[in-house]
Amino acid sequence: MTFRDLIWAYISYPSIQVYAILWVSSIIVAIGVYPYFPVSSIHVMGSIVGTLLAYPFVEYAVHRFILHGRYLYRSPWTAALWKRIHFDHHQDPNDLRVLFGAVSTTLPTIVVATFPIGMSIAGWAGVPFSFATGLACFMVYELCHCMQHLRVNPKNKFLRRIKRHHLLHHFHNEQGNFGITSLLCDHLFGSVYSSAEKIPFSQTVSNLGYQDEERVQYPWVAQLSEQKE
């Protein structure tokens, strides 16, 4: 697959089109409401920069503590959600049906992460700017994630590096390399590893610990998997 093929596959996916429409809409709203709120352009820029600075930490925290946490599958109310948003992806990292995030879960996450930043820095004028920035960051996330799983060899050294780290996360040990667009937080919190020799192979790399007693005590994901088969 060429990089052009990757871009075409990316922009043709429905959820990416939804994010793009929302991004344009957010920019229009931001420009439209800005004159009605007495806030300086510095504060507006602050809401954008604040969102950019916060994004790597949000990405890392969601991936490490929510997607790789064990409390979602332990409730019958959230088991199907966890199965869709991460378990199935680790079961088969090459399954394109679960490669992209579900809009029903990604959009609320972006709202929760960006609205407080925009409001706290620039009030209501900052909210649409922060939201638009969050959408842009997530679209970059999805592009990087596609690149990491599809058969494309990026020429850029940094893109090759994050792809190598993410594939190690999927096929060697899932307890590290949580960053998708950046390894900053992995370095900060000591969860980065650069090769298979640096850390032992994980027996739970594909099932995320959902096995044996966990599977028996919390059977909902297993039942859904059986129904799918």
Q: Is the pLDDT of residue 74 over 80?
A: yes
Greater confidence, 36 or 66? Answer: 66
Res. 169 pLDDT band, cuts 50 70 90? very high
Question: What is the arithmetic mean of pLDDT over 179-190?
Answer: 97
For residue range 122-165, list pLDDT tens digits in order. Answer: 999 999 999 999 999 999 999 999 999 999 989 999 999 999 99
Q: Indicate the burial class of 66 (C-beta count within 10 angstroms; 0-12, 13-18, 19 or more).
A: middle
Q: Indicate the burial class of 83 (C-beta count within 10 angstroms; 0-12, 13-18, 19 or more).
A: buried
Question: What is the arithmetic mean of pLDDT over 79-99?
Answer: 92
60 CB-near residues (< 8 Å, 6+ apart): 178, 179, 185, 186, 189
Q: Is the pLDDT of residue 90 over 70?
A: yes
Tell me what pLDDT residue 3 has: 83
Q: What value does the mean pLDDT of the chain take?
A: 94
113: amino acid identity, one letter? A
Tell me what pLDDT residue 228 has: 62
Residue 98 and residue 102: Cα distance in Å, rounded? 8
For residue range 45-60, list pLDDT tens digits in order. Answer: 999 999 999 999 999 9
Tell me what pLDDT residue 125 has: 92
Q: Is the pLDDT of residue 229 over 60?
A: no
Lowest mean pLDDT among 32-36, 80-84, 107-111, 160-164: 32-36
Tell me what pLDDT residue 128 has: 96
Look up the pTM and report it: 0.93
Tell me what pLDDT residue 226 has: 81
For residue range 192-212, list pLDDT tens digits in order. Answer: 999 999 899 999 999 999 999
